[in-house]
A = this chain, B = another copy of it.
Amino acid sequence: MNKQLHPKSHKIAILAEGSFGVLESKTATVLVRYLPNNVVAVIDSTKAGKDVSDVIEIGEGIPVVRNLAEAMRFEPTMLAIGIAPPGGELPEAWRGILHEAIRSGLHIMSGLHHFLSENAELAELAEAHNVVLWDARKPPEDLPVATCKAADVDATVILTVGSDCRVGKMLSGIEVTNAAREKGLNAEFCPTGQNGIMVWGWGIAIDAVVSDFTAGAAEQIVLEGAKNHDLLIVEGQGSLVHPGYSGVTLSLLHGSMPDAMIFCHQPSRKEVARYTVPLPSLTEMIAHYEMLTAPIKPAKVIGLALNCFDLSEKEAYAAIAAAESETGLPATDVVRFGAKKLVDAVQKVYQDNKR
């Protein structure tokens, strides 16, 4: 598993130069949301002087600063790269900032496709300054082909699935995990992507794994999580109707062998983002997932996590009611209205499993 640095033991400066608050800075937003006591500053010269909460509505009290030198006043121990550009390459302009950070003794946490630890120049500099270059996307060596072992764990396994990328599969997974813990369940979130790994401190970015072994990686995550927990909430990836990433989605579905699924969707989204592929109805998309689990280990969708961030409160309630009516399943927006409905559904599966 990917466990080189535990972000919760660090004070973090986030590099989001030129793009804090836009879609490409999802990593920065996620770090602010889930590590608010660790993030000490966000670097973006175009928004310097603002409070983080002025830009992304969360993270009150965290300053946006002009550059690394300013961020150093808040005594960070780690620099986190806060963007995930398509393709995953390191923007050339950032190279100098990374050099400066390493020279200042900061560990670097990155979710880029381009592995910092494989960049000879950076690796040498990091060694000289005794800091770690942690590539959260870098998969472990020697992953196996999936063997269906995930079906044998004692833990109850819930997978978040969805209609598209960026609809809330990671966020819903974390919220359900936290809410289950509040109910006293021994729950663990199982990250499968770089942002989840950076927030939670372990996991495998399964979309970075060679496709023969992608389901095997999902299986390993479940086996690892089940060592010390009774309830696992596995982070989903992509969608079965996503032209680029559907294979990742299905590998995760068959490798993690969930007992049940939570379906995540953004009600305002009508097409796969960046493609002209219309999304099927909720009922159809749920049927796809259930149909594909059936031959191997049948699992049902037990609830809907709807991402209504772009709707008014009234519209959000209407979207939730419409989804519940269409599917007969409990639905909520976990950020706006909490995860209670979903945790109740999860707890029912958990109790049925214990019998």
Q: Please list the residues of chain A having a beta carbon within 8 angstroms of any beta carbon in chain B.
A: 86, 113, 145-148, 206-212, 214-216, 240-255, 275-280, 284, 287-288, 291-292, 294-296
Q: Which residues of B contact A287 (CB under 8 A)?
A: 291
Q: Are B208 and A208 in contact (CB under 8 A)?
A: no
> Which of B148, B206, B241 lies in contact with A296, CB distance below 8 A?
B241
The listed residue with most B CB atoms (<10 A of its CB), out of A86, A208, A215, A240, is: A215
Distance (whole angstroms) from the CB of A156 to the closest CB of chain B = 19
> Which of B240, B243, B246, B255 lies in contact with A243, CB distance below 8 A?
B255
The listed residue with most B CB atoms (<10 A of its CB), out of A250, A253, A275, A292, is: A250
Closest to A245 in B: B212
Contact (A145, B244) CB under 8 Å given A206-B211, A291-B291: yes
Q: Which residues of B contact A214 (CB under 8 A)?
A: 211, 247
Q: Are A207 and B215 in contact (CB under 8 A)?
A: no
Closest to A251 in B: B247
**A306 CA to B4 CA, complexed, in Å:** 50
20 additional contacts (CB under 8 A) given A148-B277, A210-B210: A86-B145, A113-B212, A147-B243, A147-B275, A148-B276, A206-B211, A209-B211, A211-B248, A211-B251, A212-B244, A212-B248, A214-B247, A240-B292, A241-B292, A242-B254, A246-B254, A248-B251, A277-B296, A287-B291, A288-B292
> Which of B240, B247, B253, B280 lies in contact with A215, CB distance below 8 A?
B247
Q: Which residues of B contact A215 (CB under 8 A)?
A: 243-247
Q: Are A148 and B275 in contact (CB under 8 A)?
A: yes
**A263 CA to B129 CA, complexed, in Å:** 58
Which 10 residue pairs of A and B lie closest in terms of their CB atoms, listed nearest first?
Answer: A247-B251, A247-B247, A145-B244, A207-B212, A146-B244, A241-B295, A211-B211, A211-B214, A250-B250, A247-B250
Q: Which residues of B contact A253 (CB under 8 A)?
A: 246
Q: Are A244 and B210 in contact (CB under 8 A)?
A: no
Q: Which residues of B contact A292 (CB under 8 A)?
A: 240-241, 246, 288
Q: Are B211 and A247 in contact (CB under 8 A)?
A: yes
Q: Which residues of B contact A252 (CB under 8 A)?
A: 247
Q: Which residues of B contact A246 (CB under 8 A)?
A: 215, 250-251, 253-254, 292
The contact sample of 26 A-B pairs, CB cut-off 8 A, is A145-B244, A145-B245, A146-B244, A147-B244, A148-B275, A148-B277, A208-B211, A211-B211, A211-B214, A211-B247, A211-B248, A212-B244, A212-B245, A214-B247, A240-B292, A241-B296, A242-B254, A244-B254, A246-B251, A246-B254, A247-B247, A247-B248, A247-B251, A250-B250, A284-B295, A288-B292
Q: Which residues of B contact A288 (CB under 8 A)?
A: 291-292
Closest to A275 in B: B148
Contact (A212, B208) CB under 8 Å given A240-B250, A296-B243: yes
Q: Which residues of B contact A211 (CB under 8 A)?
A: 206-211, 214, 247-248, 251
**A275 CA to B151 CA, complexed, in Å:** 12
The listed residue with most B CB atoms (<10 A of its CB), out of A145, A275, A288, is: A145
> Which of B86, B248, B254, B295 lies in contact with A279, CB distance below 8 A?
B295
